[in-house]
Amino acid sequence: MKKNITKEIGELLEKYFSGETTLKEERQLREYFSKIEDDGSDPQIRGYKDMFGYFSDESDKVCLKEILLKETDTVKAGKKAHIIAPRYFTWGLSAAAILVAGIFLFSPGTKQTFEFRSNGKKIHDQTQAMNFASEKMNRVNKMISGIGSNNRVFNIITKTNNSLAPLAKMNKALSQNKG
């Protein structure tokens, strides 16, 4: 086991304190002083041993700290990603749920283009369906359009109640627009 500081190490030490050592040289110094025996004969050795041992610890700590910090950043980034992702995920899920609900609620369903039933049975005849609709509407049209031409009904109303004057105006307007 070495007991003395060699010339080479001495030169490295000078460089070290001048801030000119490389990482390899610093590692060399650390290794040297970690192995050197300290029997108390040379106080410098104890000093350097303690120093490089401390620095070695510190450098390990620093390395560990750096690793931890890096890990923390990653974790934080990951957590941040997780914080963001769930928020967007929740939004996305909500939007999807609303869309599905909207489609379900407002969907017209699978109704066909027409449906005609007679005596409880479906009749798959579009022409018949249209004719049926037309017939019923024409019946109503006849009744309604009769307001203008059916003076018998209209006159009875106006005689009994003068407040129906707006009805007279409407009838006049409708009669004028009839082509």
Partner 1 sequence: MKRILTIIILLVISGPILFSQNKEIKNIFEKYEKNKSVESVYLSPFLMAMAGKFTNDAEGKEWISAIEEMRILTVEMHGKNSGNVELVKQIKGEFDNLFGRYKFERALRVKDGDELVEMYVLKEDKGLILFLNDSPDEFSVIVMFGSISDKILKAVMKGGVKFN
Task: Decide: is 88 part of the binding site for partner 1 (CB under 8 A).
Answer: no
Q: How far is the CB of 138 from partner 1 (least distance, A)?
A: 7
Among 120, 127, 160, 163, binds partner 1 (CB under 8 A): 120
Confirm if 156 and 168 have CB atoms less than 8 A apart.
no
Judged by CB under 8 A, the chain residues 93 through 112 that form the site for partner 1 are 94, 98, 101-102, 105-106, 111-112
For the packed helices 151-160 and 165-177, what is the interaxial angle rounded to 10 degrees?
Answer: 150
Comparing CA positions, the residue from 109, 138, 63 lying closest to residue 71 is: 63
Among 140, 159, 160, 162, binds partner 1 (CB under 8 A): 140
Q: CA-CA distance, 95 to 74, in Å (whole number)? A: 30
Q: CA-CA distance, 39 to 24, in Å (whole number)? A: 27
Q: How far is the CB of 76 from partner 1 (least distance, A)?
A: 24
Among 60, 78, 115, 168, binds partner 1 (CB under 8 A): 115
Cα dihedral 52, 57, 63, 69, rounded to 10, equals -140
Note the residues at the interface with partner 1 (CB under 8 A): 94, 98, 101-102, 105-106, 111-120, 126, 129-130, 132-134, 136-147, 150, 153, 170, 174, 177-178
